[in-house]
Amino acid sequence: MNDETMTYLLSLLDDDSPNVQAHIRERLLGLGTGVERRIQHTVQSMPTPVQSRARKLIRELREAETMQQSWYAWRGIQEPWAKLEYGLELIARMQYGWTPPVSLSDLLDDLAEEYLDAGGMLDPISMSRFLFVIKDFNGEADDYFDPLHSNMIHVLESGYGLPISLCSVYMLLGWRLGVTTFGCALPGYFITRSEYKGEDVYIDCFNGGRVMTRAEVVKGGGPLPPHIHYVLDEPAPTEQILGRVANNLVYAYTLRGDDHNADRFAALGDGFSNFGDAEERQLAG
**pLDDT tens, residue by residue, 269-280:** 887 754 444 444
Question: Region 181-187: what's the mean pLDDT?
Answer: 94
- Per residue in 197-250, pLDDT (tens digit) is 999 999 999 999 999 999 999 887 666 777 788 889 999 999 999 999 999 999
pLDDT exceeds cutoff 80 at 108: yes
Pairing state between β 181-186 and 199-204? unpaired
CB 271 within 8 A of CB 240: no
Mean pLDDT for the chain overall: 86
Provide the terminal-to-terminal Cα distance of the chain, rounded to the nearest Å. Answer: 44
User: For residue 199, what is the DSSP state?
Assistant: E
How many Å apart are CA 102 and CA 108, to the nearest integer? 11
Q: At CA 194, angle to CA 137 and CA 122, rounded to 5? A: 70
* Amino acid found at 2: N
Question: Region 138-163: what's the mean pLDDT?
Answer: 94
pLDDT classification of 133: cutoffs 50, 70, 90: very high
* Amino acid found at 113: E
b/e per residue, 90-101, with b = 16+ CB within 10 A?
Answer: bbbbbbeeeebe
- pTM exceeds 0.85: no
Cα 27 to the chain's mean position, in Å?
A: 25
Question: Region 16-35: what's the mean pLDDT?
Answer: 73
pLDDT exceeds cutoff 50 at 83: yes
% helix / strand / coil in the chain, to the nearest 5? 65, 10, 25
How many Å apart are CA 138 and CA 54, to the nearest integer? 42
Task: Report the candidate in 169, 184, 182, 103 with the shortest Cα–Cα distance to residue 136.
Answer: 169
CB 231 within 8 A of CB 151: no
Q: What is the pLDDT of residue 115?
A: 97
Task: Report the candidate in 178, 171, 179 with the shortest Cα–Cα distance to residue 237.
Answer: 171
* Amino acid found at 208: G
Of 84-98, 182-196, 214-228, 269-283, least confident by mean pLDDT is 269-283
Stronger pLDDT, 50 or 80, i.e. the higher one? 80
pLDDT exceeds cutoff 90 at 75: no
Beta strands in 223-271, from DSSP E residues, in sequence order: none
